[in-house]
Chains A and B, each alone.
With several copies, the nearest count.
Chain A
């Protein structure tokens, strides 16, 4: 059973992700943010329920749709906004942007613009944990589209063969860009299972379902039980990236899935959340808004990286040129 303090944290993180994204979405639509951005909306429960089972020492490897993972793993909104605006004080000094946010102090090994590239990297972090016997685990977030990439299969197999403390957290939102996923529910989990690890398919809109699955997977990993796969089913709320008009989707599909599966609403309606006070939640909401507004102001007024920054950090001991 989760304590109230934990439930508040769960709410707060989900809401923070939601508000963060809605806000940057509005900014993006006004042309104020560069690059591609991908909305995590409707998937918030997955990142938050997973990461609540992790410490800062545990690792995650994220995807192109990474904002939710970052926030759930503890990256600050301010750091992220500075990076989304590609400012010099950004967490990647503006060189990474939305699709490459990383924060080693939080065990966040990076969003990734190459679909399917995260799992081998997460396997490496799990190998570190296994080698150093530090009890840490490593999580790879993987889209349904990404699950087809050969690299993901390779990572699944390596995790089994080396018995790595690792979780494959699939987020099945049925779409890869503009193309509908032809896989039946549970297929991705089954596939991972066939590599020889326990696997389960759950409702990704249900915080508690994800939390329970994550908890036992993380425990298994910490106890030397090896890798686990979790497939979480969710709808995709917005287009693939901001600006995608989704002509390829039926209006009804979008509408009904939006209505039916708001993870925050579902969370609040769950009897297990009964103990949360309206007041407290309102306070949190206000705090969140403030956090984002302050962060955004800071980000907009921060300085651009200088010409010299183009050449730094290519190598440790000398510059690119």
Chain B
């Protein structure tokens, strides 16, 4: 099996699903652009292969893009819409939050809304306050949307395949700083069901729950700590909504210690959410306070120096996990 990057895995999955199902279309800004395939090259080659009727470049009108994807999904297509950066949610949230997410419920279960929204998240690429946010907590809070954030190429393929085939709206969050991470990925089609966490590594002393890019950081920290004799279990929920509570609780029942790492801003974050689930449902297993590492309650600064302070670091994770293991 060949090693491919997350970027390639997404690109191949789009090719595969478009070939498999005529009702899949790709719509967004610059998604059809020849030789480039969007700003980060993720949709490269799709328009050559499937033509401009199914790979649709749009004007810079995110409400129209997301809304049209919703309307198309209601009427028989399976649109994969691209919201270039998740930061642009601000100009189209209504179509996602009040329309797409609620169609099925408001309409008494008489419709499906198979929209996939691919979007880039995260800091670490020097893109500044309006192009570097995480924002998925906001989406997780909205009933009717599923939220996915792969941390490796294998998951990216399996989860994106599931997202496109899923009959509910799914937001698929691609961290721009890990597009080039390599992993072995089968050529064949496969799906990863939503709501099933991946155990990144097994351990007995501390549980770390991490999301998206932070999974890679947690894994690094776990390796380091293992050389110190501290055994860390890292869990990547992969889907944020639905969240695999069970796997997290099971792990905490084993370790008694929980550290959550989330690149989002701290308040009302996934870190808060996971903490509150465990404090309610695995309280008696806890042997220490639940700890969280997030970015601070500040915008993402443009300065690379400040940005490096902003993003949670491997050493922060090591320090807190070590501290927890000592309880």
Contact = CB atoms under 8 A, between A and B. Distances in A.
Interface of A: 34-36, 59, 61, 86-87, 90-100, 102-104, 109-110, 112-117, 119-132, 138, 145-146, 148-151, 154-155, 157-158, 161-162, 176-179, 244-245, 247-248, 304-305, 307, 309-318, 320-321
Contacts of B304: 34, 86
Interface string B74-86: 1111010000000
Given A98-B302, A132-B77, 14 more contacts: A93-B109, A94-B305, A100-B107, A104-B74, A109-B75, A114-B98, A117-B99, A120-B68, A123-B64, A127-B71, A148-B60, A148-B61, A316-B104, A321-B297
Instruction: Place the interface of chain B in its size category.
Output: 35 or more
B225 interface: no
B168 A94 contact: no
B174 interface: no
Nearest to B54: A131
A243 to B, nearest CB: 10
B61 A158 contact: yes
Nearest to B101: A314
Contact of A96 (B36, B128, B146, B167): B128
B9 interface: no
A244 B36 CA distance: 9
Contacts of A121: 67-68, 70-71, 74, 95, 99
A179 B71 contact: no
Nearest to A304: B305
A129 B76 CA distance: 9
B107 A102 contact: yes
B163 interface: no
A109 B75 CA distance: 9
Interface stretch (B27-35, B149-157, B181-189, B248-256): B27-35
Interface string B37-67: 0010000000000000110111111011111
B144 A248 contact: no
Contact of B63 (A126, A150, A315): A150
B98 A158 contact: no
B190 interface: no
A35 B36 CA distance: 19
B299 interface: yes
Interface in B189-240: 195
Contacts of A313: 104-105, 108-109
B64 A97 contact: no
B75 to A, nearest CB: 4
B106 A127 contact: no
Given A35-B126, A35-B127, A124-B72, A92 B59 contact: no
B32 to A, nearest CB: 8
Contacts of A130: 53
A307 B34 contact: no
A150 B94 CA distance: 12
A311 B105 CA distance: 9
Contact of A317 (B30, B64, B168, B298): B168
Contact of A113 (B54, B73, B131, B298): B131
A47 to B, nearest CB: 19
B99 A92 contact: no
B110 A102 contact: yes
B293 interface: no
Contacts of B95: 117, 120-121, 151
Contact of A132 (B33, B76, B107, B131): B76
B108 A96 contact: yes
Nearest to A145: B60
Given A124-B70, A247-B34, A320-B296, A157 B64 contact: yes
21 contacts: A86-B304, A96-B107, A96-B129, A102-B110, A114-B98, A115-B60, A117-B95, A120-B71, A122-B71, A123-B67, A127-B25, A127-B56, A131-B25, A149-B60, A154-B64, A155-B67, A177-B30, A179-B33, A245-B35, A313-B108, A313-B109
Interface in B155-173: 166-168
Contacts of A115: 60
Contacts of A34: 126, 302-304
Nearest to A96: B106
Contacts of A155: 64, 67-68
